[in-house]
Amino acid sequence: MILTHFTGRAALTIRLIGLALVSWTVLRANHHAPGGSGRGLVISVLFALCVVAWLTWMSWPVPDRGITPEVWVLAAAGGVLCGASPSSAASAFVFVAVVAAGVRAELSRAFIVVGVAVLALALSVLAYDGSALGLLAYSLGFAAATLAGANARQAAAKAEQAELLLAQTQRSHEEQLRAARLEESTRIAREIHDVLAHALAGLTIQLEATSALVD
């Protein structure tokens, strides 16, 4: 949402920095870091999926694309990763997904993404004995982020409508000015025509009188 105020290159840089920071927390987690077996392997696979999905989302951030596959991957893989690596900032992957869903689609469809993320997180919490309170807090956070995305989309739509209305008002004002100028030109032309007609009529009378005197 905030990134819409930046240029394309600036927004791309900010997204790359965000990905780097989140990746650093996952790779440097005090407990349950990526590995080659067991829980570490699960974290490694999920982290790779999230990074690829993030890069895909970052490359085509157009709001009117709808809920694309990378959004679903971020919601599902990010939710499981958030429970598998609770000491990291893996929840950022899910927040990106739910905000993107709120911005790109209707609220009813966006909340399906939230449901997928919450379900994935719940399964991960059950599998790795996570905190039920944390699950509730994340669920409320995901829902709030989706609402914020939807509000941003509605605000952008209202701003666009206001711009269209302003443009229509300006065109209407220009048409009124053009009509007023045309009416004024017509009035001046009519007055000039009347003056010339009277002058010519007077001149004709004078010529006739002069001709009569000459005769």
Confidence of residue 115 (pLDDT cuts 50, 70, 90): very high
| Mean pLDDT along residues 155-166 | 73
The Cα 83–Cα 72 span in angstroms is 17
The Cα 18–Cα 13 span in angstroms is 9
More confident residue, 196 or 89: 89
**Predicted local distance difference test score (pLDDT) of residue 63:** 58
Report the Cα–Cα distance between both ends of the chain, in Å, rounded: 96
**Predicted local distance difference test score (pLDDT) of residue 201:** 75
* Residue 5 confidence (pLDDT) above 70: no
The Cα 116–Cα 112 span in angstroms is 6
Inter-residue contact 50 to 42 (CB < 8 Å): no
* Residue 6 confidence (pLDDT) above 60: no
Cα dist from 164 to 54, 59, 159, 160, 168, whole Å: 34, 29, 9, 6, 6
**Predicted local distance difference test score (pLDDT) of residue 2:** 44
**Predicted local distance difference test score (pLDDT) of residue 163:** 76
| Mean pLDDT along residues 57-65 | 71
More confident residue, 125 or 29: 125
Tokens of 101: 């869903």
pLDDT per residue over 34-54, tens digit each? 888 888 899 999 999 999 999
**Predicted local distance difference test score (pLDDT) of residue 61:** 61
| Mean pLDDT along residues 114-118 | 95
**Predicted local distance difference test score (pLDDT) of residue 158:** 72
* Residue 3 confidence (pLDDT) above 60: no
Cα dist from 134 to 33, 40, 78, 114, 142, whole Å: 19, 21, 15, 16, 12
Nearest 10 degrees: Cα torsion 128, 129, 132, 137: -40
HEC letters along 114-178: HHHHHHHHHHHHHHCCCCHHHHHHHHHHHHHHHHHHHHHHHHHHHHHHHHHHHHHHHHHHHHHHH
The Cα 99–Cα 93 span in angstroms is 10
| Burial readout 76-90 (b: 16 or more C-beta within 10 A, e: otherwise) | bbbbbbbbbbbebbb
Mean pLDDT of the chain: 85
Inter-residue contact 98 to 149 (CB < 8 Å): yes
**Predicted local distance difference test score (pLDDT) of residue 160:** 67
* Residue 184 confidence (pLDDT) above 80: yes
